[in-house]
Structure 1
Amino acid sequence: MISPAHRRRGLAALAVAATAAGVGLAVAAQPAAAASADAMIAEVYGGGGNSGATLKSDFVELANAGASAASVDGWSVQYAPASGSSWQVTPLTGSIPAGGRFLVAEGKGAGGTVDLPTPDATGTIAMSATGGTIALVHATTALTCKTAADCAADATVKDVVGFGAATIREGSPAPAGTNTTSLARSALVDTDDNSVDFTSGAPTPTNAAGDTTGGDPTPPIQAKVHDIQGTTRLSPLDGKKVGGVTGVVTAVRSFGSARGFWVQDTAPDADPATSEGVFAFTGSTSPAVAVGDAVEITSATVDEFYPDASPSSSTQQSTTELTSPKWTVTSHGNPVPAPEKLGPDTVPTAFTPEPGGNIEPLALEPSKYALDFYESREGMLVEIDDAHVVGPSTSFNELWITSKPQQNPTPRGGTLYSGYDQQNSGRMLVESLIPFAQHPFPKVNTGDRLAGVTAGPLNFSQFGGYEILATQLGDRVDGGLQPEVTRAQRPSELAVATYNVENLAPSDPQAKFDRLAAAVVTHLASPDILSIEEIQDNSGATDDGTVASDVTVKKFTDAIVAAGGPHYEVRSIDPENDKDGGQPGGNIRVSFLFNPARVSFVDIPGGDATTPVTVTQGRFPLDPKLSASPGRIAPADEAWESSRKPLVGEFLFHNHPVFVIGNHFNSKGGDQPLAGRNQPPTRSSEVQRVKQATLVNNFVKQIEKIDPLANVVVLGDMNDYPFSPALGTLTSGHALTDLITTLPKPEQYSYVFQGNSQVLDHILTSPFVLRPSYDVVHINAEFADQASDHDPQVVRFVPTSVPWPGAGH
């Protein structure tokens, strides 16, 4: 079951807002009455008898947070429309039991099918479903105040709730109601801010005798947390109303649109598959609870929340939550359950069972599989001490750590993703529940540590994978990681590099151009040829029909010169507008930069966005001839739909022809997540990359058929792994060697995603490119401060083909 409104952004951006605005505070009108410690308004519903309503009548429910009965003899409940223009009165008699409720029935409509429980008082006020004000008053005379300030000054006013567009309210108004939702005080705590105290949910009228009806005549199922969590990924009580849920509050999220609290049962059962923690979701309302409060959730609906879509279409796992919760705080200052420490041997190495489908119905086996282990701790406190960082912090204020620092380690402190069965089970995302004003989110690089304790409830992230929502966050210990610098090419060596510059546009700050330029000059040692991916057009992401990129490229090459580099020349082909995928309107493409002092470009006219480049026999033996240089490979083929087309160019180095093919294959968008509910995940995007790889491989073979000794370099962002079908296709028939595979295994990465050091970028060379000197230059992917999310690569080699007099045509 899922509520469509239950959609939210990640913690990272929300925490920034919480820091800026203050956590759990609202700026609004002055409170209309002093905070109540005993009798108060608990729930307001004005949709009774309206279209779509189940209940026949409107109602106001009172509650008593005190330790003794509260008399309401001579009191009244009063209602004003949202404008605050007038008041209607319902007199009261009797008392509200200690910790109990008192039901006031109001206007009855023509619709609905369910009567209220026997009311303790009855009126005839026809309340608005969407907005208005209810006041609990020490008298039966109609109020005359018409503003929040005037009502606050009236000594007869005990409590006020304004909802929707109400003029009179305490603090900010509670959300608007509907014909099917009421506004209820989640806990019997009055903060004098209606927006904090009240949440929207299904109406649950309760009278002094404890009788309930609401929209669901079935009383709540009495359940413990482990009953709700169950022994699979899905709650056996999904969609059911539950009550009697007890435990201690372990964490509170009091900012953003996904507020709520985690409760953990201190009397666990003996089943290791059942979690003892659960999240109570209170929407945009901060819950009036504190860590250490013992609570009883008297009413809530169990919901399996999917972060990306509806249950029928989601590829992620769900989080078991309690929605529209009502609870009572039974005591304060209780000890919080000790977090479970996750060490190198705690989490299983095997990632998940692989039944070839949805793993949700499978019984959890936490001692065998990592995903089962994490799921069996969902909502519970976990801890990693002196956590090892394997994925740098991002602009979304998140980072990745591991409980297994020796699991497939890289030389620079990461963890290597080297196969579809090497998911690295120790990885875990970290976000923070701590206001950044109290503890700024750490800026960390791969290889750093979070000294001390990092602990909090375990959650399934809406971006995929399990995470610790930190209530304790370790401090950064610098791992000493430094950006790499490659050696310069020797006079006899040709240096060819690839670099994805991440949506480079003229509107980017000059600082980005300067950093990219410094990478070219200092870290890549000014290679002779550069294949650059993600050059945007001159208007950037503005979708105005612009396709030319000369302004973008000039700003880049000027920055390279300013950094002390060569005056690179450029060759590129402008794409058709909005045909090459990427950021809408950006028209990203592959471009060649080359140093004319070291290498020359063989210009052959005829290349454009739609004309395919072909290979024919030249005038001499071993002389492949391109129909255009630069040119594009089969641009009309379905393999390149909404994707960048490869750019082919012929260069001359010491009179030796060198064919360079720059690539940017289609992205992994649409692939199922690594930790999703379908195992193994479907990688739907790789079908297109295999088609793309086939076309490039066939093109290379055409060159090599004419000249088996040809110098061919295929490079770029292939968006896939060395062990993938796409790279297997690209190298098939021994046409190319993927140079990343010639490095020692732990060094085979150029990108970091979800804490996995992996490969997306490649340089491949033809068989007679002999003794290539290849280097992945780590300057971005492992660092919090990045100019791009990709690391560049360079290959240096001495061309060995015969320098024919007619080479270059």
Structure 2
Amino acid sequence: MVSSHSPSPFSSAVPRPAALSAAVATALAAGLLAGAPAVAGPAERTERAAAVSIHDIQGSTRISPLAGQPVAGVPGIVTGVRGYGSARGFWIQERVPDADPATSEGVFVFTGSTTPSVKAGDEVTVSGTVTEYIPGGTSSGNQSLTQITRPTVTVVSSGNALPEPVTVSARTVPDAYAPQGDPAAGGSVNGLPLNPGAYALDYYESLEGTSVRIGTSRVVGASDPYSELWVTVKPYENRTPRGGALYGSYTSQNSGRLKIQSLVPLAEQPFPTANVGDVLTGTTEGVLDFNQFGGYTLAARALGEVRDRGLKREQARPHRSGELAVATYNVENLDPTDPQTKFDSLAKAVVENLASPDIVALEEIQDNNGKKNDGVVAADETVRKFTDAIVAAGGPAYEWRSISPENNKDGGEPGGNIRQVFLFNPERVSFTDRAGGDATTPTDVTSTRRGGAALTLSPGRVDPANPAWESSRKPLAAEFSFRGETVFVIANHFGSKGGDEGLTAHRQPPNRSSEVKRLQQAQSVNAFVKKILKADRRADVLVVGDINDFEFSATTQALTDGGALYPAVKSLPRKDRYSYVFQGNSQVLDQILTSPSIRNFSYDSVHINAEFSDQNSDHDPQLLRFRP
């Protein structure tokens, strides 16, 4: 779910929606290149260059009406300077805005790897070429950032007062998130006139490059290693009990969310540490940017202070006599090269926060040398180091079962060979071993003489030859016995959301292409569960793991088809249904689903990671307890 934060190269071209103006269409047809536009030769370029204002460049749609054209002598006040990284430059803004709320009064001047020599408060004129840069490239589906490239800059005066920032608040940001994209343009909103009074994305776009401010705001996405955090300017919008912003449907995007970064180098001003529910107090002021990782971003020249609201990691109650406790935990690419502190922290979470479950399904256990891509697939050293850490933390001496994948056939980090692993406490539960399981041999279901169900292989992989599992983790099924009762557990790690367009994409609604594979994977698992239930309709079956999809998704609907399973997360109060925080949205990715015989259970999404800046994993573990 988390992408690399390395700077992205310029994209090759801006897509051409059908509804664009003739000027824009002409520029695109001429071969507009983001960051390196195809324009006429020097003589013609000089002839065509015109003195224009910033709002003329920005226009009233997402694409500049002057895209691909040279401009000369664009006046403005420098409002912010980015003097680090590979995308250096500065923002300029009109002294006096026009009367059209759809046209932004600010624009980014791109200087590439050259550090700008201007400073905030300089009055300048800029000549150059107007381009549309798509962060992440056209395949990302992102909107574009209007900018002036190949600039020639003249400083007219210095020490000028900055334009008064626009206040972004609950009152100014519309509740509706985005307009419906134009079907004639493939669902793109690029050519639609901006309506900043009706849609949040239009409102933010109308302020692209403009100096803005926010007041005291709640943190909804913890600060991360890339020196960014997320706040909401809407105090009551889908608030979770712990201070987050719940993503409860495809239409509850939480329009008040805004990413905060700093324009000040970290050496001069360390970025604040914040957890979900903390408060960024006072005034945070800067320029509204648009980037690849989250879209609209307040690039702050002045940051408020973080007030710690004391968020605590949750602790599950001890399980009661007769309860079987089953957990699932994505431990985020764990391998022996990780520091011992990571093993110790994860182990402590199993013992103290999860109360030492009887069965723990782990996702993202890597092989014995992690990302080293040398053909090693065994993970016994990884698991031994983890189980030893659990014992050292005061937990049980877990035994474990797993099946190693074929080298580099299950996706994830190349060379890492992630897989699911079952830990179980032999003092409480026994594992039913049926030999023969390997990376390519499927387990199946048979009927017992007593009218029950049994796996032919335990542990065994479910339907591994199905194309749905190509370059993805295959489900791992196992049979356990607890107090004489058989329990089937299927551990999963469905395909990631990589390739999906973000909420701020130019296509609205965004394209969620990754759902296709997860839907097929869910159908595969559902069919296997139905095999078990056909052999024994009263069988206790748990489908657990990182499903990588929401409780309201088509993936979850496919898992539950025919009443075979129930998503236990739906037993929680709606505002506590989350296991992951992405771009300030608290959402469900990890799940435990139950067969019909498991009617009475206790479920907990144990919030110990996703809301915190100090994380042992980016996922919260899930815990279910029931009496077989």
Match of 1:692 in 2: 521
Match of 2:456 in 1: 627
Change (3 A) 1:8 1:648: closer
Mapping for residues 164-203 of structure 1, pairs under 5 Å: none
Match of 2:87 in 1: 258
Q: How far apart are the structure 1 equivalents of 2:140 and 2:192? A: 17
Match of 1:319 in 2: 145
Match of 2:509 in 1: 680
Q: Which amino acid aligns with 1:689?
A: R
Match of 1:329 in 2: 155
Q: How far apart are the structure 2 equivalents of 1:249 and 1:257? A: 20
Q: How far apart are the structure 2 equivalents of 1:201 and 1:364? A: 26
Mapping for residues 40-51 of structure 1, pairs under 5 Å: none
Q: How far apart are the structure 2 equivalents of 1:336 and 1:492? A: 68
Match of 1:278 in 2: 107
Q: Quick check: 2:347–2:386 contact (8 Å CA) kept in 1?
A: yes
The structure with higher relative contact order (CA 8 Å, sep 6+) is 2
Report the Cα offset of residue 435 of structure 1.
2.0
Match of 1:347 in 2: 173
- For residues 502-528 of structure 1, give each alpha carbon's deviation from its aligned partner in whole angstroms, at most 9, with x where no partner exists: 000110000000000000000000000
SS of 1:726's partner is: helix
Mapping for residues 88-103 of structure 1, pairs under 5 Å: none
Q: How far apart are the structure 1 equivalents of 2:226 and 2:44? A: 40
Q: Which amino acid aligns with 2:324?
A: L
Match of 1:228 in 2: 57
Could you tell me the percent identity over the aligned residues?
A: 58
- Which range moves more in the overlay, 255-264 or 712-721? 255-264
Q: Which amino acid aligns with 1:744?
A: P
Report the Cα offset of residue 314 of structure 1.
4.4
- Which range moves more in the overlay, 284-293 or 362-371? 284-293
Report the Cα offset of residue 266 of structure 1.
1.1
Structure 2 counterpart of 1:485, from 305, 308, 315: 315
TM superposition score normalised by structure 2: 0.92
Match of 1:502 in 2: 332
Change (3 A) 1:306 1:227: same
Mapping for residues 492-571 of structure 1, pairs under 5 Å: 492-571=322-401
Report the Cα offset of residue 563 of structure 1.
0.3
Report the Cα offset of residue 222 of structure 1.
1.2
Change (3 A) 1:273 1:201: closer
Structure 1 position 289 matched with structure 2 position 128 = no
Match of 1:614 in 2: 444
SS of 2:478's partner is: strand
Match of 2:32 in 1: none
Structure 2 counterpart of 1:306, from 106, 110, 134: 134
Q: Quick check: 1:251–1:261 contact (8 Å CA) kept in 2?
A: yes
Structure 2 counterpart of 1:717, from 531, 542, 546: 546
Match of 1:396 in 2: 226
Match of 2:12 in 1: none
Q: Give the gaps of 5 or more residues in structure 2.
A: 9-34
Mapping for residues 398-417 of structure 1, pairs under 5 Å: 398-417=228-247
- For residues 226-246 of structure 1, give each alpha carbon's deviation from its aligned partner in whole angstroms, at most 9, with x where no partner exists: 000000000000111101211
Q: Quick check: 2:231–2:258 contact (8 Å CA) kept in 1?
A: yes
SS of 1:733's partner is: helix
Report the Cα offset of residue 770 of structure 1.
2.5
TM superposition score normalised by structure 1: 0.72
Report the Cα offset of residue 464 of structure 1.
3.1
Q: How far apart are the structure 1 equivalents of 2:102 and 2:7? A: 27
Q: How far apart are the structure 2 equivalents of 1:794 and 1:520? A: 11
Q: How far apart are the structure 2 equivalents of 1:268 and 1:229? A: 12
Report the Cα offset of residue 215 of structure 1.
7.0
Structure 1 counterpart of 2:591, from 747, 759, 762: 762
Match of 2:71 in 1: 242
Structure 1 counterpart of 2:465, from 629, 636, 647: 636
Q: Quick check: 1:405–1:415 contact (8 Å CA) kept in 2?
A: no
SS of 1:558's partner is: helix
Q: How far apart are the structure 2 equivalents of 1:249 and 1:315? A: 30
Two-structure CA RMSD over aligned residues (Å): 1.7
Mapping for residues 413-424 of structure 1, pairs under 5 Å: 413-424=243-254
SS of 1:729's partner is: helix
Q: How far apart are the structure 1 equivalents of 2:315 and 2:56? A: 57
Structure 1 counterpart of 2:402, from 566, 572, 575: 572
Match of 1:603 in 2: 433
Q: How far apart are the structure 2 equivalents of 1:464 and 1:654? A: 49
Change (3 A) 1:213 1:718: closer
Match of 1:373 in 2: 203
Change (3 A) 1:287 1:540: same
Structure 2 counterpart of 1:706, from 518, 527, 535: 535
Structure 1 position 728 matched with structure 2 position 554 = no
Q: Quick check: 2:175–2:200 contact (8 Å CA) kept in 1?
A: yes
Equivalenced residue count is 593
Change (3 A) 1:314 1:709: closer
Q: How far apart are the structure 1 equivalents of 2:600 and 2:323? A: 11
- For residues 131-158 of structure 1, give each alpha carbon's deviation from its aligned partner in whole angstroms, at most 9, with x where no partner exists: xxxxxxxxxxxxxxxxxxxxxxxxxxxx
Q: How far apart are the structure 1 equivalents of 2:136 and 2:36? A: 22
Q: How far apart are the structure 2 equivalents of 1:344 and 1:707? A: 54
Q: How far apart are the structure 1 equivalents of 2:158 and 2:304? A: 27
Q: How far apart are the structure 2 equivalents of 1:559 and 1:201? A: 54
Report the Cα offset of residue 218 of structure 1.
2.0
Report the Cα offset of residue 213 of structure 1.
5.2
Q: How far apart are the structure 1 equivalents of 2:117 and 2:36? A: 17
Q: Quick check: 1:464–1:676 contact (8 Å CA) kept in 2?
A: no
Q: How far apart are the structure 2 equivalents of 1:665 and 1:776? A: 19
Match of 2:22 in 1: none
Q: Which amino acid aligns with 1:300?
A: G
Q: Which amino acid aligns with 2:54?
A: V
Q: Quick check: 1:736–1:765 contact (8 Å CA) kept in 2?
A: yes
Over alpha carbons, which structure has the higher Rg? 1
Q: How far apart are the structure 2 equivalents of 1:504 and 1:237? A: 50
Q: How far apart are the structure 2 equivalents of 1:649 and 1:293? A: 68
Match of 1:64 in 2: none
Q: How far apart are the structure 2 equivalents of 1:444 and 1:374? A: 24
Report the Cα offset of residue 675 of structure 1.
0.8
Structure 1 position 777 matched with structure 2 position 606 = yes
Report the Cα offset of residue 10 of structure 1.
5.0
Q: How far apart are the structure 2 equivalents of 1:258 and 1:703? A: 56
- Which range moves more in the overlay, 694-703 or 366-375? 694-703
Match of 1:459 in 2: 289
Q: Which amino acid aligns with 2:219?
A: V
Q: Quick check: 1:770–1:798 contact (8 Å CA) kept in 2?
A: no
Q: Which amino acid aligns with 2:310?
A: G
SS of 1:581's partner is: coil
Match of 1:448 in 2: 278
Q: Give the gaps of 5 or more residues in structure 1.
A: 1-6, 12-199, 205-211, 800-809
Report the Cα offset of residue 649 of structure 1.
0.4
Q: How far apart are the structure 2 equivalents of 1:438 and 1:613? A: 59
SS of 2:322's partner is: coil
Q: How far apart are the structure 1 equivalents of 2:495 and 2:76? A: 49
SS of 2:552's partner is: coil
Q: Which amino acid aligns with 2:130?
A: V
Q: Quick check: 1:387–1:454 contact (8 Å CA) kept in 2?
A: no
